[in-house]
Chains A and B, each alone.
Chain A
Amino acid sequence: MPFSQLRELLLPTFRQHRLRLAAGFAALILVDLLQLTIPRFIKHGVDGLTAMTITPVGLLHLAGLILLFAGMVVVLRFAWRYLIIGFSRLLERTIRNRIFAHIVKMDAPFFEKYTTGDLMAHSSNDLGAVQMACGMGMVAAVDALVMSLAAIGFMIAIHPMLTLLALLPMPILAVTTRILSGKLHKRFATVQEQFSSMTEFSRSTLISIGLIKAYTMEDFQTDRFGKLGRKYVRSNLRVAAIQGLISPLATLIGSLGLLMVLYFGGRLVINNTITLGDFVAFITYLYMLIWPMMAIGWVANLVQRGLTSLGRIHDLVTSRTTLPDPVLPVPPAMLKHPGYELKNMSFRYSSSTAPAVDNLTLSFGPGIHGVTGRTGSGKSTLCKILARLYPVADGQLFFGGTDVNQLPLQFIRAHIGYVGQEPVLFSDTIAANIALGRADASREEVIQAAVNAAIHEDIVGLKDGYDTMTGERGVKLSGGQRQRLALARALLCDRPVLIIDDGLSAVDVATEHEVFAGLKRHFAGKTVLIVSNRIKLLSMTDRIIILADGAVQSEGSHEQLLQENSLYQSMYAKQMTQDALKEPESP
């Protein structure tokens, strides 16, 4: 990907902080210059001592100057670190926020393409690589450039030929560092891969520990794990082989330069071509060159990796949603009793060849509509399309009489209360989780919604009641409790459309029946769609729609279907006998 496209991600931040960067680089260059001056003081001192021309006061003077310069270096170094590395963190934050802001706008197909793992990797590893390249990478590049140019300049001023000799090994260092760190990166990637396969192996083994024990596979699995482990050890040694080269190599090349100076420079001093002070200063400059030479190779890799990562981030933040979200000049007024109309609606998941919804024609307005059908008949897909999570073609789905593709997403969604199959709770208090769609709701309203969803008693029983934390680090709720919480969340919003996609499947039939019987009044005048396979619940609805292979197989009232539909009959028969055997719900 050409850099001109990627620039767009970086430029605004660079421009915004241009003064900060300018000041930072000025400090960096000043540090370099000051540092290069210190060897000059040492040279003066040593020369003075050789010729015995310097006085103790003169020495004190020089020492004072070194201290003064060193003090200035401390301040300036702090300045560039704070300004430039700080900038890279600012940049990191800006891009991180941008990624998040983009992600929350994306549609369901996007989340099929990018898994949670991918997105987490983008926001940590890739972002990290960009931050490194724009922070330490930039610093090292500038620093190496200034230091090497200046040090070489000073060295040339002392003796051009000796400079050339001393620098002879340096390019080898730059080239080998570049090659080696590229190789290191690759080998390290192998180590990471093996690390994750080891992780995956132990995870899959431990998660099926019962099976492992039942088949007495303990030792067998340990052996297999051992094979992975030995492979991992070997790859680590391959990494170590390179790591073990890079740093000693730098020392070696630096010392080689020093050897040149010692031998040839020593001769020059003996021949009185340069002074001993020159000789010592030369050595100091040479030390200063080792780091920039290593840095060149390192920076090249850093930049390369940063660019690759930037490319991936760019792909991510420029990906487009497939859901049209038109901006209307006049925002439409909220509808009181909206209905849906589906005209030959079809939908296919990108990962599948068969359509999930196939030529579905259906319309429904205020009232309670039950939807049932076998797994894969398209019930959930239908719910998700109605909630505008997946796109539909023009002219297939109408909301309140208007093609959904002509309406802003948020406008449609603001009409819908939704309870999904898998209740999602966030790491927050229970009250906040219920008030997700209405952050302004009073505690009374929250409690009322919880009462309606038959979860109030459970909440009151928790240690901190409504202020109990849920989610990853909070209290663990059972599947049924989570589902009723999700129902309370939807009820609190009190929106004209309510879509319940098998929302109380983990609650026993009797409780579910009770909850919905209690909600009858609440549902008056609303468009309610309930997906369920439970006859008892379906029998409460005004109309039942049976889906098969993405289309309506049959529809009618409970009594009608009981007479006409064989699938419905068999469901009825089974569930009635099971009720007879039913035990109390296990907690």
Chain B
Amino acid sequence: MMNYGYSEKGQEGSLSDFHLWRKILQFSAPYWLSLFFAVIISILITWATLTLPHLVQTAIDHYITATTVATDARIAGLTRTAIHYGVLIFAIFFASFCQVLVLEWVGQSVMHTVRQRLFHHLLHLDLPFFNSNPTGRLVTRLTNDIQNMNEMFTSVIVTLFNDLLQLTGILVLLFWMNPRLAGVMTIFIPLAIIITIFFARLAREQFRAIRIQLAKINSFLAENLSGMSIIQLFGRQESNRQTFEHLSEGFLQRTLSQIKLFGTFMPLTEFMSSAAIALILWYGGGEVLQKRLTLGELVAFISYMRLFFQPLRELAQKYSVVQSAMASAERIFQLLDTKSEIVELEQPVQLPKIQGSLLFKNIHFGYQADNPILHDVSLALYPGQTVALVGTTGSGKTTLVNLLLRFYDPQAGTIRIDDTDIACLELRKLRTIVGVILQDVFILQDTLFANIVMDTGCSREKTEAILNQTGMNRFVDKLPAGLDTIIGEGGLELSTGEKQLLSFARVLCRNPAILVLDEATAAIDTESENILEQAIADSFKGRTSLVIAHRLSTIRRADHIVVMAHGKIVEQGSHEELLQRNGHYALLVAMDLQNDQSSHAAHGNEVVDS
């Protein structure tokens, strides 16, 4: 599972070509009619293309050289043939155009389906998967690899099919016209095939060598660009320039040897084509002299031979495309087969009416099995209770929330909502019951309204009502276009406080039974702070709430305070109880008070955190 992308050089071989093609065909099945249409067009084009030289031959044999026939009849026949010819070339033109469009449409549509399927699949994989698979690699699967596969449809299938059809067609025609001459010409087929395959193999090697060298140059360049100040400060400009030139020289040498390879192969196919013509002229000419072949046939043979070598050359060039497309297809289908470790029950438990009691029972957990983060944590919240989690960074508060959302499963212990193990719930359902307000927020490049409502279908009136109720309308009214203000990249940048407010509004629209708030550690401007405080006060009412609190005001609002350190609960109780105990909590409060007294500035927190 860890190896996606590291085997870019080719197929891993764990999925056979046959298997891959079957999968590709499964995805293409809905388009069988269009594909069938494309095949028909392909046959038509081949037939028409091969008829053209035949028409020229007919014109020569029956009209142009038919000295025994009357001139008028000869010219009339010639005109008829010319009209045929004209109709055919326009037909080829339109058919080719249609074929390209149809295949592109099918290819892109199939790729769109694969891409959507893959995207959907990825979004439903669990977080451990994302921890072990870098985003960049997954993005490559979604974009470049699918693009690669598309190549297969548009260019490869077209050329493979058209070229193979054309080759066969020509061979049949040649044998039909003159089996003896055609038999002689067949010696070029194995020759051409051997040279083609040989070339395709070499070319693939060289393409790879060039790609690798280019990647080296690019990564060296990227690394140097991002570390340029260090390079300059440590006086490495000259030696890095030399290294770069060395890489650059390596690239030059590789491209030059590629040029040599192409310089040999390209003229060689041309040479075979000329040699074929020489052979036809000599052997075929002899046949003409012995009246076993007409002149028109000889000319047609020469034309067909030209058509014969062109697809061979294209097949050689397409070989590497097929290889890389198959490698991409394999990586995509493997990814599609990846399973989540966090699985939903086949028949999840339905919770009709949620009371909102929440229980963490003897939880043990670590992101890596050998590095435990939480040790035997137990915590119970009765419906409607507000509990504040307090503790320094790394004490395990956020991890607890991650487990509640079932991003990870605990190694031991259970989490229950209304006495139901969350592992028995549908994931989607669980995450609607538990509404979270995180420090970070995913912003869509859209209006504030769209960002609040998202896919809940919440009406504008209802949204406004919720905002008014919690006093958040003050935040909205401040924005230039109210709810219709475009936010996110290219729009209005929100401050930390505003982001948290947006997050709040978003969650309230979904009206969750249990509310989890990860309070912003970073400083928030006073205005947002005031609005937030009211929103917190209003939305905690009647909801079970779990708050990772950093502000004394929030902590004091809680019914119960839980202090965590080193992944354990070290103290719990009410504010007064804990203060009296003069332990961890008392110290934390003292620290916060210090902060409030001496640092009126918003940056106070930042100084401590660094």
A residues sitting closer than 8 Å to B (CB atoms) are: 38, 41-42, 45-46, 48-50, 52, 54, 56, 59-60, 62-64, 66-67, 69-71, 73-74, 77-78, 81-82, 85-86, 89-90, 92-93, 96-97, 100-101, 103-106, 108, 111, 116, 119-120, 123-124, 195, 198-199, 202-203, 205-226, 229-230, 232-233, 236-237, 240-241, 243-245, 247-249, 251-252, 255-256, 258-259, 262-263, 266-267, 269-271, 276, 279-280, 283, 287, 374-375, 384, 387, 389, 409-410, 413-414, 416, 418, 420, 424, 426-427, 436-437, 439, 471-472, 489, 493, 502, 505, 533-534, 566-567, 569-571, 573-575, 577-578, 580-583, 586-587
Contact = CB atoms under 8 A, between A and B. Distances in A.
Contacts of B263: 77-78, 81-82, 85
28 contacts: A49-B288, A49-B298, A50-B65, A63-B282, A70-B275, A85-B263, A89-B252, A89-B259, A195-B147, A202-B142, A208-B442, A210-B438, A214-B436, A216-B428, A222-B120, A237-B104, A237-B105, A240-B154, A270-B74, A276-B295, A280-B299, A374-B603, A387-B229, A472-B219, A472-B223, A505-B610, A534-B610, A574-B608
B285 A49 contact: yes
Nearest to A107: B232
B101 A237 contact: yes
Nearest to A249: B93
Contacts of B99: 244
Chain B: interface residue count, which band?
A: 35 or more
A414 B236 CA distance: 11
B101 A410 contact: no
Contact of A389 (B229, B241, B506): B229
Interface string B46-84: 000000100110011001110000010011001101100
Interface in B69-113: 71, 74-75, 78-79, 81-82, 85-86, 89-90, 92-93, 96-97, 99-101, 104-105, 108-109, 111-112
A424 B143 contact: no
B115 interface: yes
Contacts of A205: 123
B282 A218 contact: no
A66 B71 CA distance: 35
Interface in B364-400: 371, 392, 394-395
Given A248-B97, A276-B60, A578-B608, A93 B232 contact: no
Contacts, number: 405
Contacts of A583: 392, 394-395, 565-566
| Interface core residue of B232, B264, B441, B590 (most chain A CB under 10 Å) | B232
Nearest to B406: A213
A532 to B, nearest CB: 8
Contacts of B278: 62-64, 66-67, 70
Contacts of A269: 64-65
| Interface core residue of B123, B135, B136, B274 (most chain A CB under 10 Å) | B123
Nearest to B55: A262
B458 interface: no
B245 interface: yes
Nearest to A217: B454
Contact of B225 (A103, A229, A280): A103
Name the prevailing secondary structure of the B interface residues.
helix
B42 to A, nearest CB: 13
B319 interface: no
Interface stretch (B344-352, B550-558, B593-601): B593-601
Given A85-B259, A214-B405, A222 B394 contact: no
A167 to B, nearest CB: 17
Interface in B572-601: 584, 587-588, 590-591, 594-595, 598-599, 601
Given A86-B256, A205-B123, A215 B245 contact: no
Q: What are the 5 tightest A-B residue pairs by CB atom distance, in nearest-first order?
A: A244-B100, A70-B274, A240-B104, A63-B282, A570-B598
Given A210-B127, A240-B154, A67 B608 contact: no
A21 to B, nearest CB: 15
A286 B416 CA distance: 83
A257 to B, nearest CB: 10
A251 B92 contact: yes
Contacts of B245: 97, 100
| Interface core residue of A56, A60, A279, A436 (most chain B CB under 10 Å) | A436
A571 B607 contact: yes
Contacts of B220: 427
B225 A116 contact: yes
Interface string B285-302: 110110000010011001
Interface string B302-326: 1100100000000000000000000
Name the prevailing secondary structure of the A interface residues.
helix
A35 to B, nearest CB: 9
Contact of A71 (B92, B248, B271, B591): B271
A90 B252 contact: yes
Contacts of A237: 101, 104-105, 108
Contact of A436 (B55, B234, B298): B234
Nearest to B121: A222
Nearest to B220: A427
A266 B63 contact: yes
Contacts of A120: 218, 221-222, 225
B231 to A, nearest CB: 7
A209 B123 contact: yes
Contact of B274 (A38, A216, A271, A505): A38
Contact of B455 (A198, A219, A424): A219
Given A263-B78, A569-B598, 14 more contacts: A62-B278, A63-B279, A64-B278, A67-B274, A73-B267, A104-B224, A209-B127, A216-B432, A226-B112, A251-B93, A263-B79, A570-B607, A571-B607, A574-B591
Contact of A104 (B65, B147, B240): B240
A270 B274 contact: no
Interface of B: 52, 55-56, 59-60, 63-65, 71, 74-75, 78-79, 81-82, 85-86, 89-90, 92-93, 96-97, 99-101, 104-105, 108-109, 111-112, 115-116, 119-120, 122-124, 127, 130, 135-136, 138-139, 142-143, 147, 154, 214, 217-237, 239-241, 244-245, 248-249, 251-252, 255-256, 259-260, 262-264, 266-268, 270-271, 274-275, 277-279, 281-282, 285-286, 288-289, 295, 298-299, 302-303, 306, 371, 392, 394-395, 402, 405, 407, 427-428, 431-432, 436, 438, 440-442, 444, 454-455, 506, 565-566, 584, 587-588, 590-591, 594-595, 598-599, 601, 603-604, 606-608, 610
A283 B441 CA distance: 70
A426 B227 contact: yes
Given A62-B282, A89-B252, A207 B135 contact: yes
A487 B381 CA distance: 49
A67 B275 contact: yes
A375 B223 CA distance: 27
Given A67-B274, A116-B222, A222-B120, A93 B252 contact: yes
A271 B427 CA distance: 87
B591 A212 contact: no
B593 to A, nearest CB: 10
Given A89-B255, A578-B608, A248 B218 contact: no
A379 B230 CA distance: 18
B227 A424 contact: yes
B594 to A, nearest CB: 4
B289 A49 contact: yes
Contacts of A570: 594-595, 598-599, 604, 607
A211 B270 contact: no
Contact of A424 (B64, B230, B270, B402): B230
A209 B440 CA distance: 12
Nearest to B256: A86
Contacts of B142: 198-199, 202
Nearest to A214: B436
A211 B249 contact: no
| Interface core residue of B154, B233, B405, B455 (most chain A CB under 10 Å) | B233
